Amino acid sequence: MINFKNLAFVALATAIMSSGAFAADWTKIRVGTEGAYKPFNFIDANGELQGFDVEIAKALCAEMKADCTLVAQDWDGIIPALLAKKYDVIIASMSITEERMKTVDFTDKYYNTPARFVAKKGGGISDTTPAGLKGKTLGAQSSTTHSSYLEDNYKDSTVKLYATQDEANADLAAGRLDAVLADSVVILDWLGGDGSCCEHVGETFNEPKWFGLGAGMAIRKEDGELKEKLNTALAAILENGTYKKINDKFFPFPVY
Partner 1 sequence: MMDLIAQLAWGPTGWGDELAAGTMVTVSLALATLPFGLAIGLLVALGKTSSEKTLQTAANIYTTIFRGLPELLTLLIVYYGGQIVLQRIFALFTDAYVEVNGFVAGMVALGLVFSAFSSEVFASAFKGIPAGQPEAALALGLTRWQALRLVTLPQLIRLSIGGLSNLWLILLKETSLVSVIALNDLLRNTNVAVGFTKQPLFFYSVALLIYLVLSLISAKGLGTIENHVKRGEQRVA
Partner 2 sequence: MSETAVRIIEAQSPPPGVVRKWTVSRIAGTALCGVWIAIGIGLVWSLYGAFDPDVFFKYMPRMAEGLLVTTKLVVFSIFFGGLLAIPLALARMSTSVVVRGFAFAYVYIFRGTPILGQMFLLYYGAGQFVDELITLNLWWFFREAYNCVLLTFVLNTTAYQAEIYKTAIESIPRGQREAAETLGLKKGLTFWKITFPQAMITALRPLGNEIILMIKASAVASLVTVFDLMGATKLAFSRTFDFNVYLWAAILYFTIVEVLRRTWDWVETRLTRHLVR
C-alpha–C-alpha distance, residues 209 and 97, integer Å:
7
Q: What is the DSSP letter of 223?
A: -
Site string for partner 1, 66-85 (x = CB under 8 A): --------x--x--x---xx
Using CB under 8 A as the criterion, what x/- string covers residues 146-185 for binding partner 1?
Answer: --------------------x---x---------------
How many of the chain's residues bind partner 2 (CB under 8 A)?
Answer: 22
Of partner 2, partner 1, none, which one does residue 148 interact with (CB within 5 to 8 Å by kind)?
Answer: partner 2
Q: How many CB atoms within 10 Å of residue 93? A: 24
Q: Which of 71, 170, 191, 236 binds partner 2 (CB under 8 A)?
A: 170
Overall residue count recorded for the chain in this entry: 256
Q: CA 160 → CA 110, 204, 246, distances in Å?
A: 29, 20, 34
Q: Are 71 and 84 in contact (CB under 8 A)?
A: no
**Residue 166 engages partner 2 in binding (rule: CB under 8 A):** no
Stated as kind and residue range, the H or E segment containing 139 is strand 137-141
Q: Does 246 bind partner 2 (CB under 8 A)?
A: no
Task: Indicate whether 20 belongs to the interface with partner 1 (CB under 8 A).
Answer: yes
Interaction of residue 86 with partner 1, rule CB under 8 A: yes
Give the pairing of strands 28-33 and 67-72: parallel
Which region, judged by CB under 8 A, interacts with partner 2, from 44-52, 87-95, 142-150, 245-253? 142-150
- Answer yes or no whether residue 22 interacts with partner 1 by CB under 8 A: yes
Torsion of the alpha carbons at 120, 94, 88 and 59, rounded to the nearest 10: 90
CA atoms of 21 and 131, how far apart (whole Å): 53
**Distance of alpha carbon 35 from the chain centroid:** 9
> Any residues with CB less than 8 A from the CB of 221 and at least 6 apart, and which?
103, 104, 105
Count of positions on this chain that bind partner 1 (CB under 8 A): 23
Check residue 4 for interaction with partner 1 (CB under 8 A): yes
Q: How far is the CB of 242 from partner 1 (least distance, A)?
A: 30
| Residues that bind partner 2 in the complex, under the rule CB under 8 A | 1-3, 76, 79-80, 83, 99, 103, 142-143, 147-148, 151, 160-162, 170-171, 174-176
Residue ranges in contact with partner 1 by CB under 8 A: 1, 4-5, 8-10, 12-13, 16-22, 74, 77, 80, 84-86, 166, 170
